[in-house]
């Protein structure tokens, strides 16, 4: 059917091994025959079969990206970074959506392992039981975890400096003179969230005039935080500033505030986390903590490619990337 290395060997009168060497810029092949082979290959429109190649080399030049949902703008950005990094080394990315369902997650892992990917980038193993985690750690291919503090030493990680982000948010609010501050976040015990929360709360408590924030736990999404904000303001009308654990939650706060006739930032200061694209589009443009999402994806597969090359001595690495306060228009001085 398709034309193979044999065809170009026959056509150029050499052995297939010579063709292979010529094509792979290999040494030990006469420049003239090399050029000849290249010409023939070109003329026949020869396309090497990478799966045959992979079978013998044992490397597939592809990586798996297992995220909870690519529709989450955060992961889309990470995915783009990951794909670009892969491309820079002629690798590619297979996309898997787990919805954080442990079953799906393990299914995908099994599937991509059978396809012999060279590494896996996944965003969470929290839902997995210890047995599954052990299984993962010993699966033979490098795995890097996204935005999980390196709790499990078996895996490599790349993460944003979530704690520093919390600190930044606290400092900003403090500087603006706020004294009645709340923090709205997701379910308790969510790994990287606690880092943000810790940085935020501790900074507030350690201030010259310490403030003890009220922190509420809810769902991680728009509606959840809309409800959470209403609950908060019902019980704590004195609050003048809110730190939401991510931008989408902050949007929920914006909506709740609007419904209550509160103006942002005049009546209520608000700060988010992530700096997703729409945080600058919404009204008012959201002050937030920027997470280097693209860079995280990029760094993660760079790390994977490095690990894939050293089959022996594969010690997990960890990398934490800096965050940044993006001042827009959702925060004001307390009046």
Q: Which three-class secondary structure state does DSSP give residue 143?
A: strand
Considering only residues 70, 100, 154, 262, which one is a binding residue for a second copy as defined by CB under 8 A?
70
Q: In terms of Cα–Cα distance, which of 9, 289, 315, 41 is closest to 171?
A: 289
- Which of 251, 324, 334 has the alpha carbon at shortest distance from 285? 251
Mask for 187-226, x = binds a second copy (CB under 8 A): -----------------------------------x----
Q: Distance between CA 335 and CA 332 in Å, rounded? A: 9
Least Cβ distance, residue 62 to a second copy (angstroms)? 7
Tokens of 232: 């908060």
Whole-angstrom distance, CA of residue 162 vs CA of residue 192: 7
Counting contacts by CB under 8 A, is residue 10 touching a second copy? no
Among all chains, which residue has been given the structure tokens 């736990």? Answer: 217
- Using the contact rule CB under 8 A, the part of the chain among 6-14, 64-72, 192-200, 232-240 near a second copy is 64-72
Region binding a second copy by CB under 8 A among candidate stretches 23-31, 33-41, 107-115, 298-306: 107-115
User: Could you tell me if residue 254 is left (phi over 0), alpha (psi between -120 and 50 degrees) or otherwise beta?
Assistant: alpha
CB of 21: closest distance to DNA in angstroms? 5
- Minimum distance from residue 18 beta carbon to DNA (Å): 3
134 interacts with a second copy by CB under 8 A: no
- Pinpoint the alpha helices (H) of 24-145: 31-44, 50-57, 73-88, 102-114, 130-137
Measured CA to CA, the distance from residue 106 to residue 64 in angstroms comes to 13
Nearest CB to DNA, comparing residues 20 and 171: 20
Binding site for a second copy (CB under 8 A): 1-2, 47-52, 54-55, 58, 60, 62, 65, 69-71, 73, 76-77, 79-80, 83-84, 90, 92-97, 110-116, 140, 222, 251, 254-255, 258, 277-278, 281-283
């Amino acid at each position: 059917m398709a034309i193979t290395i044999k065809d170009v060997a026959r056509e150029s009168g050499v052995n297939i091994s010579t063709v292979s060497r010529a094509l792979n810029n290999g040494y030990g092949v006469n420049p003239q025959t090399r050029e000849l082979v290249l010409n023939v290959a070109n003329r026949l429109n020869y396309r090497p079969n990478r799966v045959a190649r992979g079978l013998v080399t044992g490397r597939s030049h592809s990586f798996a990206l297992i995220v909870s949902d690519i529709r989450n703008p955060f992961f889309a950005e990470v995915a783009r970074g990951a794909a670009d990094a892969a491309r820079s080394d002629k690798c590619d990315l297979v996309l898997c959506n787990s919805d954080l369902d442990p079953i799906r997650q393990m299914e995908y892992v099994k599937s991509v392992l059978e396809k012999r990917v060279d590494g896996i980038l996944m965003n969470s193993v929290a839902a997995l039981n210890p047995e599954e985690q052990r299984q993962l750690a010993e699966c033979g291919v490098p795995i890097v975890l996204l935005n999980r503090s390196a709790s499990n030493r078996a895996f490599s990680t790349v993460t944003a400096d979530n704690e520093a982000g919390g600190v930044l948010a606290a400092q900003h609010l403090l500087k603006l003179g706020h004294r009645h501050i709340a923090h709205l976040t997701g379910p308790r015990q969510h790994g990287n969230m606690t880092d943000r929360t810790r940085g935020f709360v501790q900074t507030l408590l350690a201030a010259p005039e310490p403030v003890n924030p009220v922190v509420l736990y809810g769902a991680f999404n728009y509606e959840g935080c809309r409800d959470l904000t209403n609950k908060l303001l019902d019980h704590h009308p004195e609050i003048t500033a809110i730190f939401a654990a991510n931008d989408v939650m902050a949007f929920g706060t914006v909506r709740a505030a609007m419904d209550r006739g509160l103006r942002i930032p005049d009546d209520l200061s608000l700060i988010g986390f992530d700096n997703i694209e729409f945080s600058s589009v919404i009204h008012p443009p959201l002050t937030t903590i920027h997470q280097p999402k693209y860079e995280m994806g990029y760094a993660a597969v760079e790390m994977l490619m490095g690990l894939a090359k050293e089959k022996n001595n594969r010690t997990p690495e960890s990398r934490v990337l800096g965050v940044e306060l993006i001042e827009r228009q959702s925060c004001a001085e307390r009046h």
